[in-house]
Amino acid sequence: MRLILHLMLIALLWTGSAAAQSSQGATPEAVAQFGPTDAPTLLLRSTTDIAVLAPAIEAFVAVHPGVAVTYEQWGSNALYDRARAECMAGGGVTDALFSSAVDQLVELVNLGCAQPHRSAATATLPAARRWRDELWGLTREPAVIIYNTRLVPPEDVPTSRFDLLDLLRRADQRYAGRVATYDVEASGLGYLFAFVDSLEATTFGALLEGFGRSGAIATCCSAEIIQGVSQGRYLVAYNVLGSYADSAAAPDVARIWPSDYTLVLSRGYMIPRAAAHPVAAAALLDFLLSTQGQAILAASGLVAQDGAAQVGTHDTNTRPIRIAPALLVARDAQKRAQFIRRWRETFPNGEGG
């Protein structure tokens, strides 16, 4: 494990430059190898940080000593582009996809890029986390507000979107240029959260206006946002994936499940139609859904419990993002272009612009 993490840290040194590449011709942000070097090797491509999922993969190869796993960590947009290109070409090398941008996976399934798997483990999933026996939601991760506990006084902590609006509108401009969120062009997850927000939240238009007027920052990825809050470059960040906020070694960062409603993501797993090792990919899926696998994912912050305690006296209204054909609306080219155009008007200097 020490060697794996050493290789991972070396690879992550160039994550920023790799993530800045266009999706076409992009390469993994990091790579790690698990299990015996002389065993058949399953290629898992994922948007999940290697360090977060490593305990689950290590446990899997311990239970299945005849299988090795090559783990490639990708940005969500680049992962989608690569998977779609492989599908359209009728081949590829990917054995399993595990992505937070589940709308992208729904589109791939709809295009006929996946193969089915049915088992006792997959049958336990609720309908909202399983589609056509070709796409499965394995995690439960809230989209949270995070803040710097050292620099944000208790009376300013936003426990809802309405509170966040009040901070953005402050006359003293204390939070001007100090609130961050995902850039919807650079982050597939950020686009998904923002698009679902636009359908769910009566505050969405006001939030965009507040972000624009206050000079809020749109940036690429969870690690950069969480680090920025920890260091005090940002005071507050919106719609951050809660599992990463929990797992990051980031002092002075606390999280809030918004009390008006909290989006909850189930990270999606898919076995490509042309997978070279579909049996091993299905075995990994069943393991991650098993009692042992879910316990390990929970310990890594990927399976959250109810968040009411995170927001004091407020009750959390959770709204799971269903893995269903409705997510194809987010993939409609015209709607996506309109949404991104509106986003650019709010964040003209976002990383995706």
Give how many domains the chain has, as a whole number.
2
State CA 202 to chain mean position distance.
24
Q: Is 304 part of a structural domain of the chain?
A: no
DSSP 145-160: EEEETTTS-GGG---S
Q: Cβ atoms within 10 A of the Cβ of 307, count?
A: 21
Picking from 320, 323, 322, 315, the residue whose alpha carbon sits closest to that of residue 141 is 320
Q: What local confidence, expressed as pLDDT, does residue 314 receive?
A: 41
Task: Give the Cα-Cα-Cα angle 331, 332, 337 (nearest 5 degrees).
Answer: 95
- Check if the beta carbon of residue 92 is closer than 8 Å to that of residue 272: yes
- Check if the beta carbon of residue 46 is closer than 8 Å to that of residue 28: no
Q: What are the mean pLDDT values of the chain's consecutive 10-residue runs (353 residues total)?
A: 38 36 68 95 96 96 97 95 96 95 97 98 95 97 96 97 96 96 93 94 92 94 92 97 80 94 97 97 98 95 66 63 95 94 84 41
Q: What local confidence, expressed as pLDDT, does residue 250 receive?
A: 84
Q: How far apart are CA 132 and CA 118, in angstroms?
A: 10
Q: How far apart are CA 328 and CA 313, in angstroms?
A: 36
213 and 178 within one domain: yes
Q: Which residue has the tokens 């589109």?
A: 107
Q: Is 130 part of a structural domain of the chain?
A: yes
260 and 210 within one domain: yes
Q: How far apart are CA 201 and CA 197, in angstroms?
A: 5
Q: What local confidence, expressed as pLDDT, does residue 244 receive?
A: 82
Tokens for 58, please give them: 């290590």
Q: What local confidence, expressed as pLDDT, does residue 221 receive?
A: 85
Q: Is 226 part of a structural domain of the chain?
A: yes
274 and 245 within one domain: no
155 and 42 within one domain: no
Q: What local confidence, expressed as pLDDT, does residue 306 receive?
A: 54
* Residue numbers of the domain that contains 220: 142-264+326-346
177 and 28 within one domain: no
Q: What local confidence, expressed as pLDDT, does residue 316 receive?
A: 56
3-state helix, strand, coil in the chain (%, to 5): 45, 20, 35
Q: Is 330 part of a structural domain of the chain?
A: yes
Collapsing DSSP states into helix, strand and coil, what is residue 250? coil
Q: Is 308 part of a structural domain of the chain?
A: no
198 and 271 within one domain: no
Q: What local confidence, expressed as pLDDT, does residue 20 receive?
A: 35
Q: Is 44 part of a structural domain of the chain?
A: yes
- Check if the beta carbon of residue 296 is closer than 8 Å to that of residue 306: no
**pTM summary value:** 0.86
Q: What local confidence, expressed as pLDDT, does residue 215 receive?
A: 95
180 and 240 within one domain: yes
218 and 271 within one domain: no
Q: Is 351 part of a structural domain of the chain?
A: no
**CATH (domain of 183):** 3.40.190.10
